[in-house]
Amino acid sequence: MRRFLLLGTLFMGIIILTGAIPAPGARPEKNATVAPGPVPSEIMTAKTAFISNAGAECNPAGAVGFSGDADRAYNEFYAAMKAWGRYGVTAAPADSDLALEISFACPPAGSHSVREVNGNADSDPRFRLAIVDIKTHELLRVLIEHVRPALLQGNRDKNFDDAMAKLVDDAKGLAASSASSAAGGHF
């Protein structure tokens, strides 16, 4: 009897190791692609936007070493959104459908993603764009873009501009995906 139990245990171990039967407590693999969640319709239906400067938690020209002042992120984002022309940019929130709140922060790189520059732990500069419905004051979406670190000033400025361009592209893509949602692409 003991011999049969030993053979049975050995056989079950082989089956579990080969994946024929999942091990107790094992999760099945997810092969299905998850459909994207809906983009709030307010982003698509909005005609006007107020661009809000939520400031910089670090001075881009300070320890992080970017050219410009603390308003550089706001100024570049504002210019890009006006040039895009998707939303009429207004001077007051009361005249707008959406608030696009841009900020720039340089938190220390986390221990799981420490970036090394000249042997020192570096900050993790990033843009944050919060999209708020003016009427309801609901936060509709947050977009974040990281600025890659660089040793040389020119490369840091190029990476700043690249991340800003990516943030603007993310906003454009969000508006485009909302348009396809309204056309029946998503719920």
> How many angstroms separate the CA atoms of 26 and 43, rounded?
41
Range of lowest pLDDT (78-82, 96-100, 112-116, 167-171): 112-116
User: pLDDT at residue 160 above 80?
Assistant: yes
Say yes or no to pLDDT of 109 above 70. Answer: yes
Domains within the chain, CATH numbers bracketed: 41-182 (3.40.50)
Q: pLDDT of 135-151, one tens digit each?
A: 999 999 999 999 998 88
Residues 6 or more apart whose Cβ sits within 8 Å of residue 170: 129, 143, 145
Nearest to 145 by CA among 82, 76, 51, 63: 76
| 135 vs 107, more confident | 135
